[in-house]
Amino acid sequence: MSTDAVPSTAVVSHDPRTGEPRAEIAVEAGPAEVDRAVRAAAATLDALADRTRRAALLRAAADRLEAAAEEVVATADAETALGPVRLRGELARTTYQLREFAAVVEHGAFLDLALDRADPALGRPDLRRMKLPLGVVAVFSASNFPLAFSVPGGDTASALAAGCPVVVKGHPDHPATGELCARLLREAAERVGLPADVVALVHGLDAGVELVRHPLTAAVGFTGSVRGGRALADVAAARPRPVPFHGELGSLNPVVVTERAAATRAEEIGAGLAGSFTLGTGQFCVKPGLVLVPAADSGPVEKAVVAAAAQAAPGPLLDPRMRRAFLDGVRQRADLPGVEELLAADAEPVDGAPLAVRAGVLAVGAAQLAEELLEECFGPVTVLVRYRTAEELETVLGRLTGNLTATVQLAADEDGPEAAALLRRLEPLAGRLVVNAWPTGVAVAPAMHHGGPYPATTSTSTSVGATAIERWLRPITYQNAPQALLPEELRDGNPLGLPRREN
Amino acid sequence: MSTDAVPSTAVVSHDPRTGEPRAEIAVEAGPAEVDRAVRAAAATLDALADRTRRAALLRAAADRLEAAAEEVVATADAETALGPVRLRGELARTTYQLREFAAVVEHGAFLDLALDRADPALGRPDLRRMKLPLGVVAVFSASNFPLAFSVPGGDTASALAAGCPVVVKGHPDHPATGELCARLLREAAERVGLPADVVALVHGLDAGVELVRHPLTAAVGFTGSVRGGRALADVAAARPRPVPFHGELGSLNPVVVTERAAATRAEEIGAGLAGSFTLGTGQFCVKPGLVLVPAADSGPVEKAVVAAAAQAAPGPLLDPRMRRAFLDGVRQRADLPGVEELLAADAEPVDGAPLAVRAGVLAVGAAQLAEELLEECFGPVTVLVRYRTAEELETVLGRLTGNLTATVQLAADEDGPEAAALLRRLEPLAGRLVVNAWPTGVAVAPAMHHGGPYPATTSTSTSVGATAIERWLRPITYQNAPQALLPEELRDGNPLGLPRREN
């Protein structure tokens, strides 16, 4: 392979508040660079087999990120405009995740150790199972979480925890943050005696496709759009040796407000909804984008959400292309038959951020709900759908595809059979059901599931929480192996003191 | 949809001993029949949500199969020629699997229940996770296990255990057995108060493709050839909503005989290998098809395997097409440069089985190993590859793709660093490593893994053992749900007494 014929393209960091370029950060990787990165990563597999060192790496990475917190937050803010408060919180979440996965590695339950002793009476041989890392994992960064779902994020942390080297395809909206974090992770590796190449970063759309195609790439983690994610999932599936593709693509995150809830909690629901859909300028994958409200009682809810959303501070989106897509997307939706623009989302330049926008609220009758309104519109807008009857509600639910979350807003004491039936109805539509709360804010916790039926995710796994490690492992069974040839994890007497099931 | 234009094609049971037709069993399903079967199956999802009843169904299915054992074995023998001894054993394995999954359903660990109580200090809401069935599972029967990997087999048992209705695409080599077993399973469902449609059977190649494409099909289990499996995997991946495809495709099951093993255990290794590759007339997915022997000491091993294999009784293959592919495949391989035919596999008619064949053994130097010899040849033949040096051994191993199993034959006391390095070298190549034993015979046990890197399987999961249930489930988290709206499994006080992790 040679890149001689491929002109190198500069990767430039931009200020999303103004759209102005900040600095050239790197060049896009050609096929030869991608090949080098993947091979170098693959060569670290043996070194990563040492679980103690893996745990140390994850902790050292958290330490390095914290030590460089000021620089990390400033760099990320300069190219994402997410603001230092949010970014400090995201950094804390990121280091928490890294340390949690260090604990996961040390605890060892993820190895899923199982032993069946030989049973000559049953003709059963000695069988001992554990899980092994798959190999090099390709991670695609998300635009909207420059830390927690990017270079040092959950996919990288869980893959390293599993023993898999990582090659990240950086997001063009925060190349400087990506490079900085990659450097910190590589330094962390060297500090604990591991090769720096356990993590590498490449830039460029074509480089991403090369990465998914590379023969030594063993699995892919992706967070991004339905269109981009599906295209890469198709590439992964079409390889001579297909590889698992764990993609988090898109989600409408429907909300159902019951009649009794609208009648008794309109103010609270409106304010909560406004807070949730405008949080982070509406740039969360779990933003509630479609809200079913009972037509007879929709007035107070609508009034409350509009009042609260109108108070939300205007802000810039992650990049000018997204801003354009947001403004155009809202405009097209507002122009559909039957749609009322309760609050106009629009450009609203503010001091220091000429590219800022303000939040919008649309409303439409369930009978007039056009297909376009069932597509995610990234940014601070939500669509209220007024349903007149249970049948209309069911018709809308029947048109939905998979989601990360679905939310129900009930009256305070509403927990009878109808409410239960509503929850059961939403189960097939989402990976997380939220009751009388809002889907934004994904707690990093063992019982969290961040994933959902397609297109929310392309697999049945989670990208948040300890079980995210399962995506990067495969089982292997040793039959009749002498003690000295078994991995220590599986030897008699459990010398490593790991959780094991012995049958 | 209408099948008016599609002429119905008869599904005929054949006697593989003679190639003669036995009886018309059914007709191939058109798109309308497939659609009806999938919709009827989907309509049983709610009924299957009752775990107690699911366990009862699995036990009733085992009971029905045992009650009809004579008819089942006779029917299967008439159209597979696998013989009553083997088929009685396979039936016992099948009923054991069904009962094991009943125990899995009752035990409840597969629900992976996890609870995080609300922690206002951390800003963490109440989170409770469990696993839900994916929906209708399409199961593709294997030719070589008319019971254990067919209609009442492991895929069906694990899917029903997960709460998923099943539509089986029957194998054309045993339609009568398939129909009989489907009837018994449907009767079992009715006996425990479940709809018969929790299991359905359809026939025909096109019906199989329709089944994978059907919008309500939520996952696929497949056992068969690389070619057929990959084609269906591609269909599953290309759907508007892609679905998980768990396919067990093909495997060479390499064996490495060390120099010291060849020098000290030649007789035992030769006899063991012959027993393993001729078992069931070589029609096992874990048949050892490629055996690396040290060139300097290959003579005694070769002599022993040929002597033992020559004694193996000739037998018919599962159908005349496979017999033709076997005979042609062996002939083509034997004619490759450098290949020696140590024992000629050939047609050898015997009483009552004019289509019987006898086992063959090929040998070739590692330096002359043609690509064709690295492709699975279904039937009683194995290829001995003579390696002269460690480099030659490594070169051959470097050319292998994924396998269900890899086996090492060591000397009695050979467990030093070289043997350990050999095992580590084989780990990336297989899902089960066998030491001084043979890969045929897949114990149904908790520590078993039956799967391996592509093309052995298309996913990282197993199709044998309790963890096979994981293929048909997805997680869901309930956030902040009142007690009355939670599934009982997740309520305070653990009213169902299930294994849960509370954090």
Chain B, nearest residue to A462 by Cα: B475
Q: Do A446 and B478 touch (CB under 8 A)?
A: no
Is B49 an interface residue toward A (CB < 8 Å)? no
Which residue in the set B132, B433, B485 is minimally distant from A420, CB to CB? B485
Mean pLDDT of A203-211: 98
Same domain, B84 and B149: yes
Cα distance from B202 to chain A (closest Cα, Å)? 26
**Whether B503 and A427 lie within 8 Å, measured CB to CB:** no
pLDDT attached to residue B122:
80
Indicate the residue of B416, B428, B446 with minimum beta-carbon distance to A503: B446
CB < 8 Å from B in window 425-484 of A? 427-428, 430-437, 441, 443, 445-449, 451, 453-455, 458-460, 462, 467, 473-484
Per-residue pLDDT reduced to its tens digit, A406-436: 999 999 999 999 999 999 999 999 999 999 9
Task: Give every CB contact of residue A260 below 8 A, 6+ residues apart in sequence.
Answer: A410, A411, A414
Q: Which positions 83-112 of B are in contact with A (Cβ < 8 Å)?
A: 112
Q: Is the pLDDT of residue A3 over 50?
A: no
> A321-330, pLDDT tens digit by residue?
999 999 999 9
We report the CATH number of the domain holding residue B295 as 3.40.309.10
As to burial, measured by CB atoms within 10 angstroms (0-12 exposed, 13-18 middle, 19+ buried), residue B441 is middle
How far away is chain A from the Cα of B403, in angstroms, using its nearest Cα? 11
Q: Output the pLDDT for position B443.
A: 87
Question: What percent of chain B stands above pLDDT 90?
Answer: 95
CA B13 to chain A, closest CA, distance in angstroms equals: 34
In the block, residue with structure tokens 């018919």 = B316
Give A150's DSSP letter. S
Residue A346 lies in a domain: yes
CA distance A251 to chain B (A): 14
The residue-averaged pLDDT of A373-392 equals 97
**Residue B120: per-residue pLDDT:** 86
Q: Please state which of the ranges A85-94, A118-127, A275-284, B123-132 shows the lowest mean pLDDT.
A: A118-127
Same domain as B107, residue B19: yes
Query: Which H or E run includes B5?
Result: none
pLDDT at A1: 39
A237 and A267 share one domain: no
Q: Which of residues 277-296 of A touch B (CB under 8 A)?
A: none
Of B125, B467, B482, the CB nearest to A443: B125
Does the residue B303 lie in any domain?
yes
Over residues B279-299, the mean pLDDT reads 96
pLDDT value at residue B3? 43
Domain membership of residue B446 (yes or no) is no
Residue type, B131: K
DSSP summary character for residue A379 = S
Question: In sequence order, which residues have a C-beta less than 8 Å from that of residue A206 and are 6 or more positions away?
Answer: A28, A30
pLDDT of B1:
40
Residues in chain B closer than 8 A to A130 (CB atoms): none
- Res. B487: pLDDT tops 70: yes
* Closest in B233, B443, B459 to A124, CB measured: B443
Contact A481 B435 (CB under 8 A): yes
Which residues, numbered 375 to 414 in chain A, qualify as contacts with chain B under a Cβ-Cβ cut-off of 8 Å?
401-402
Return the SS3 of A359. coil
Residue B115 to residue A416, Cβ atoms within 8 A? no
Question: Does residue B229 belong to the interface with chain A, where contact is any CB pair within 8 Å?
Answer: no
Q: Please give the single-letter amino acid code of residue A300.
A: P
- Is the domain of A178 the same as that of A304? no
The dihedrals phi and psi of A350, each to the nearest 5 degrees, come to -130, 170
Quick check: A346 and A360 in contact, CB under 8 A?
yes
Within-domain flag for B197: yes
DSSP B369: -
Closest chain B residue to the Cα of A488, Cα to Cα: B420
The residue ranking higher by pLDDT, A77 or B442, is A77
B348 touches chain A (CB under 8 A): no
Contacts of A468 in chain B (CB under 8 A): none
In a domain, B2, yes or no: no
pLDDT value of position B444: 86
- Is the pLDDT at B276 greater than 60? The verdict is yes
Q: Is A134 on the interface with B (CB under 8 A)?
A: yes
Average pLDDT estimate for B181-200? 98
d(CA B265, CA B261): 5
Flag whether B500 is in a domain. no
Helix A154-162 × helix A84-107 angle, to 10°: 20
* Cross-chain Cβ contact A449/B477 below 8 Å: yes
Tell me the mean pLDDT in the region B380-405.
98
The active-site residue out of A90, A248, A376, A414 is A248
Give the residue from A104, A129, A216, A253 with the most B CB atoms within 10 Å of its CB, the best one to mutate: A129
| pLDDT tens for each residue of B408-445 | 999 999 999 999 999 999 999 999 999 999 999 888 88
Structure tokens of B302? 């070769």
Are residues A258 and A202 part of one domain? Answer: no
Co-location of A346 and A224 in the same domain: no
Residue of B432, B446, B480 with shortest CB distance to A434: B480
Which of B455, B343, B478, B328 is CA-nearest to residue B404? B455
**Which residues of chain A are within 8 Å of residue B440 when distances are taken between CB atoms?**
none
- Work out the minimum CA distance from A237 to partner chain B, whole angstroms: 7
The reply to whether A405 falls in a domain is yes
- The verdict on A227 and A273 lying in the same domain is no
Mean confidence (pLDDT) of chain A:
96
Chain B CB contacts of A453 below 8 Å: 241, 474
Question: Residue A4 above 90 pLDDT?
Answer: no
Span A292-320, average pLDDT: 97
Q: How many domains does chain A have?
A: 2
At A85, is the secondary structure helix, strand, or coil? helix
pLDDT in tens, B18-75: 999 999 999 999 999 999 999 999 999 999 999 999 999 999 999 999 999 999 999 9
User: Which value does ipTM take for this structure?
Assistant: 0.96
Looking at residues A439-463, what average pLDDT do you find? 93
* pLDDT bucket at B84, cuts 50 / 70 / 90: very high
Chain A positions in Cβ-Cβ contact with residue B473 (cut-off 8 Å): 460
- Asked whether residue B453 is domain-assigned, the answer is no
Q: Which one of B404, B449, B463 would you mutate to disrupt binding with A, by most A Cβ within 10 Å of its Cβ?
A: B449
Banded pLDDT at A223 (limits 50, 70, 90): very high
Nearest residue on chain A to B233, alpha-carbon basis: A237
Q: What is the pLDDT of residues A173-205, one digit of tens each?
A: 999 999 999 999 999 999 999 999 999 999 999
Helix locations, B172-238, DSSP H? 175-191, 205-213, 226-238
**Same domain assignment for residues A53 and A147:** yes
Task: Using DSSP, state whether A484 is helix, strand or coil.
Answer: helix
State the CATH number of the domain containing residue A243.
3.40.605.10
Q: What is the structure's pLDDT at A7? A: 60
Active site residue ranges of B: 248, 285
DSSP for A175-232? Answer: HHHHHHHHHHHHHHHHHTT--GGGEEEE--HHHHHHHHH-TTEEEEEEES-HHHHHHH
In chain B, the percentage of residues whose pLDDT exceeds 70 is 99
Residues B112, B116, B118: CA angle, nearest 5 degrees: 155
Q: Are residues B238 and B262 in the same domain?
A: no
Q: How far apart are CA B416 and CA A96, in angstroms?
A: 42
- The per-residue pLDDT for A133 is 98
Domain that holds residue A378: 254-435
CB atoms within 10 A of CB B191: 14
pLDDT score of A63 more than 50: yes
Q: Using CA atoms, how far apart are residues B355 and B487, in angstroms rounded to an integer?
A: 57
Of A434, A437, A477, the CB nearest to B431: A477
Residue B7 pLDDT exceeds 70:
no
- Does residue B225 share a domain with residue B112? yes
pLDDT of residue B8: 73
Q: Looking at the structure, tell me whether residues B240 and B277 fall in a common domain.
A: no
The candidate with the shortest Cα–Cα distance to B200, out of B29, B3, B64, is B29
Cβ partners under 8 Å of residue B127, min gap 6: A443, A445, A447, A448, B115, B116, B477, B478, B479
Q: Going edge to edge, which strands form the sheet with A127-133?
A: A500-502, A113-116, A127-133, A473-479, B430-435, B403-409, B254-257, B290-294, B381-387, B360-365, B340-343
Is the pLDDT score of A228 beyond 90? yes
Q: Among B93, B129, B234, which would you mutate to test the A interface (most chain A Cβ atoms within 10 Å of its Cβ)?
A: B129
Of A244 and B8, more confident:
A244
Contact call for residues B1 and B215 (beta carbons, < 8 A):
no
CA-based torsion, A336, A342, A347, A353: positive or negative = negative
* Mean pLDDT calculated for residue range B371-379: 96
Span B206-231, average pLDDT = 97
8-state DSSP, B182: H
Do B292 and B254 form a contact (C-beta atoms < 8 A)?
yes
A/B interface, count of CB pairs below 8 Å: 194
**What was the pLDDT predicted at B71?**
98
Is the confidence at residue B316, as pLDDT, over 90?
Answer: yes
pLDDT at A213: 98
Are B73 and B117 contained in the same domain?
yes
Does residue B116 belong to the interface with chain A, where contact is any CB pair within 8 Å?
yes
Q: Which of A127, A432, A484 comes nearest B445 by C-beta? A: A127
